[in-house]
Amino acid sequence: MNIIRIKDTSNKLFYIGGVVRDEILHKESFDIDLTYVGNAIEYAKSLPDVEIIKINEPFGTVRVKIDGKEIDIASTRAEIYERPGHLPTITEIGCDLKKDVIRRDFTINALAKNFNSGEIIDYTGGLDDIKNKTIRVLHDKSFIEDPTRIIRALKFAVRFDFELDEHTKELRDNYLKNINYDMSFKRVKKELIETFSLNSQKAYNEFIDKNIYKLVTEKTVTKPNINIENIINKYKKLINPSNIWLIYVGTLEDLSKLELTKEEKSIITDYINIKNLKFNSDFEIYKTFKNVKPETVLLYGILNDLVPVINYFENLQDIKVEITGDDLLKLGLKPSSKYRECFDEILMEKCLNPTLTKSDELNIAKKYIK
Ligand code: CTP
C-alpha cells in the first residue's frame, strides 16, 4: 500500500474498498480511497501539514494534498437507491463504518483497514472470499439497484481470476431476464471500458454467453467464431489503446444506448456502412479500408471475413502513390476529377504490383492521359 503521511490521532480513519482488496492480493492499486468515520471535511481541516484542494459538501468528501500527492477522503455514508440504476441518494453522512461498508458492491470491496493500527475490519466475509477467489454481492437487491455491478463482477472475475458465487450468479441471471433499461448508461460505459480494456477473450465469452451484453442492446447477438483477443494482439500497434474496448463491444453493432465520442461513433457507423461489402479485387479492399479506422477494419474481420483484412494489413495498407498533382500538371493534365481517376489507375496497378517505382507510375499516368 502506498505510504501516506497523515498525523492521525482520531483512530477513525480507514483505507477502504479496492485499495484494501488489492493489498491483500499483492496487486498495485489504481487509487487510494480513505474514509473517515464522521465528517471528513471537518477532520481534514483539523489536520496539520495538509492542504485542502476541493470540498464536496453534499457528498461529505474532501480532496487534500499530502506530500505533493492528491488524495480523496470520504465521510462514511449511508445511501438508498430511490431510482434503481441511477446514483444513490445519501441518507446519512458520518454513519458508523458498518453502514458505510454494507452499501457497497461485493464482499471483496467491503474491507476496511485502520489507518493507524493496520487492523482489517471485515464485516461481510470479504477476507474468506478473497481467499476462495469468490465474488459475492452483499444483498439480493444489489444488481437491481445498480446493474453496472453485473459488469463490475465480470471485470473483477477476469482481473483476478475469481468466480462469482452461485447465489450471485443466480441474482445476475434473474436480473438479465428482466432488465430495467432506465439506468445510467454513462456508468455502464465506464465499466465496459474498464472491463474490455483488459483485452480478454474470457471476458467477452462470459459477456455474450451469460447474456450480460443485454444490458447494452435489446437485440440478440451471436458470438463470432473468432478469438478477438488474438486478433487485437496481432494488430495492437495499429489500434488506439483507448479503443480496444470498442472492438469487443462494437461486435454488438447496436450501441445506441451508450453515449459515444465522435471517434467511437465513426468506428461503429463506418463498420455498419461497409459490413455488407464483398470485395472483387485488392484495389477494392484498399479503397474501402483506407478510408476507415483500423478498428473498423478489425470489426469487419471479426464479424464478416478476416481474409481481406489480413491481406490489407499485411500487404496493402502501406501502398501509396508517389507522384503528385504537380507531376500530372507537368504531363499536361489540367486539374480536374481526372486527377483522382489517374491516381486510382496507378493505385490499381500498385495493388497488383506494390514494387512499382515512381517512373513506372509516370508511365501509367502518361498512358492514362493518352
Ligand atoms: N462501489 C460500489 N458499487 C459500484 C461502484 C463502486 O459499491 N457500482 C464501491 C466499491 O466498494 C468499490 C468502491 O466503491 O471498492 C470504489 O469504486 P471504484 O474505484 O470504482 O472501485 P475499486 O474497487 O477501487 O476498483 P478499481 O480497482 O477498478 O479502481
Atom of ligand 1 nearest to the CA of 110: 11
- Write down the H helix ranges in the chain: 18-24, 40-46, 97-102, 126-131, 142-145, 148-160, 166-177, 185-196, 201-209, 228-234, 244-249, 262-274, 282-290, 294-303, 306-311, 325-330, 337-352, 358-369
Q: Measured between alpha carbons, how far is residue 367 from residues 160, 194, 255, 330, 359 in Å?
A: 63, 55, 48, 14, 12
Residue 28 Cα to ligand 1 middle (Å): 15
Please give the Cα distance from 50 to 156 (Å, whole number): 34
Residue 230 Cα to ligand 1 middle (Å): 29
Q: Measured between alpha carbons, how far is residue 214 from residues 135, 173, 223, 347 in Å?
A: 21, 11, 13, 44
Q: Which residues contact residue 267 at a Cβ distance below 8 angstroms, ignoring those fewer than 6 apart? A: 243, 246, 250, 292, 293, 295, 296, 299
Contacts 24+ apart (CB under 8 A), 45-53: 47/6, 47/7, 47/8, 48/7, 49/5, 49/7, 50/6
Q: Measured between alpha carbons, how far is residue 324 from residues 77, 291, 358 in Å?
A: 66, 19, 10
DSSP state of 212: G
Residue 98 Cα to ligand 1 middle (Å): 17
Residue 330 Cα to ligand 1 middle (Å): 65
Please give the Cα distance from 37 to 15 (Å, whole number): 11
DSSP state of 56: E
Please give the Cα distance from 282 to 310 (Å, whole number): 11
DSSP 306-325: HHHHHHIIIIITT------H
Q: What share of the chain is helix, strand, coil (3-state, %, to 5)?
A: 50, 15, 40
Residue 74 Cα to ligand 1 middle (Å): 13
Per-residue pLDDT of the chain (370 residues; tens, 9 = 90+): 656 788 888 899 999 999 999 999 999 987 889 999 999 999 999 998 889 999 999 999 999 998 888 899 999 999 999 999 999 999 999 999 999 999 999 999 999 999 999 999 999 999 999 999 999 999 999 999 999 999 999 999 999 999 999 999 999 999 999 999 999 999 999 999 999 999 999 999 999 999 999 999 999 999 999 999 999 999 999 999 999 999 999 999 999 999 999 999 999 999 999 999 999 999 999 999 999 999 999 999 999 999 999 999 999 999 999 999 999 999 999 999 999 999 999 999 999 998 999 999 999 999 998 8
pTM higher than 0.85: yes
Query: Which residue is closest in CA terms to ligand 1's atom 18?
Result: 18
Q: List ligand 1's pocket residues with C-beta within 6 A.
A: 17-18, 30-31, 33, 104-105, 109, 146, 148-149, 152, 194
Please give the Cα distance from 75 to 353 (Å, whole number): 68
Atom of ligand 1 nearest to the CA of 194: 28
Atom of ligand 1 nearest to the CA of 21: 23
Q: Which of 22, 27, 90, 104 to mutate to test the pocket of ligand 1 (most atoms within 8 A of CB)?
A: 104
- The 3-state DSSP class for residue 289 equals helix
Residue 256 Cα to ligand 1 middle (Å): 26
